[in-house]
Structures are given as C-alpha cells and as structure tokens.
Amino acid sequence: MTSDILQNILSEEAQASEIHLEAQQTANEIVKNAETRAGDEERKAAVENRALYQRLLEERRLRVEQQLQNQQQKNQQEASAHIKAAGVNLDKAVQYIMQEVVHGDR
C-alpha cells in the first residue's frame, strides 16, 4: 500500500511537472505573440505617422505656394502702379526738358 501511495505521488508529481512545462510553453507563446503584435502595431503606427506627416507637409507646401502666388500678384500690381506713375512723371520730365531746350528758359 505504501508503494502504491508513493507511486501515486510520483505519478502526480510527473503530471504536475508536465502541466507546469505546458503552462510555461503557453506563457512563452503568449508573450511571443504579444511582442509580435506590438511590433506589428508599432510598424503600422510608424507607417501611418509617415503618411500623416507627408499629408501635412503637402498641405503646408500648398498653402505656402498660394501665399507666394498671392504675394507675387500683389508685387506685380504694385510694380505696374509704379511704372504707370513713372510714365506720368516721364511725360512731365520730357515736357520740362523740351521747354528748357526749345525755349531756352535756362
């Protein structure tokens, strides 16, 4: 009877050791799967962040281009106004010089 009890204890210990080993393997698989998923999610987030960065950069580039175009138009309008004003003054200068040269008022 004692040997049966001892045999039963050894059998239970072996079974417990096997269960413990299986639990360790399962835990290792769970950790490995979690690390893999975390790595996948990290890579996915990095790709999404790069795409977001590129989109924001493109939006900013378009805004700056629009601002530059607006500034260029404004500058062209101002330059045209200055040229027109200079043209008026040029006519006055020509008339003045002609007055001085032709009539000898000088």
Task: Report the first-to-last Cα separation within the chain, whole angstroms.
Answer: 147
Q: For 56-92, how does the pLDDT look when each residue is reduced to its tens digit (9 = 90+)?
A: 999 999 999 999 999 999 999 999 999 988 888 888 8
100 neighbors 106 (Cβ within 8 angstroms): yes
Mean pLDDT calculated for residue range 44-62? 97
Q: Residue 42's pLDDT band (boundaries 50, 70, 90)?
A: very high
As given in the structure block, the two tokens for residue 7 are 């045999």
Whole-number pLDDT of residue 98: 83
35 neighbors 27 (Cβ within 8 angstroms): no
Mean pLDDT calculated for residue range 23-41? 97
Whole-number pLDDT of residue 105: 57
Whole-number pLDDT of residue 2: 77
Helix (H) or strand (E) holding 54: helix 2-103
78 neighbors 84 (Cβ within 8 angstroms): no
Whole-angstrom distance, CA of residue 37 vs CA of residue 93: 82
Whole-number pLDDT of residue 29: 97
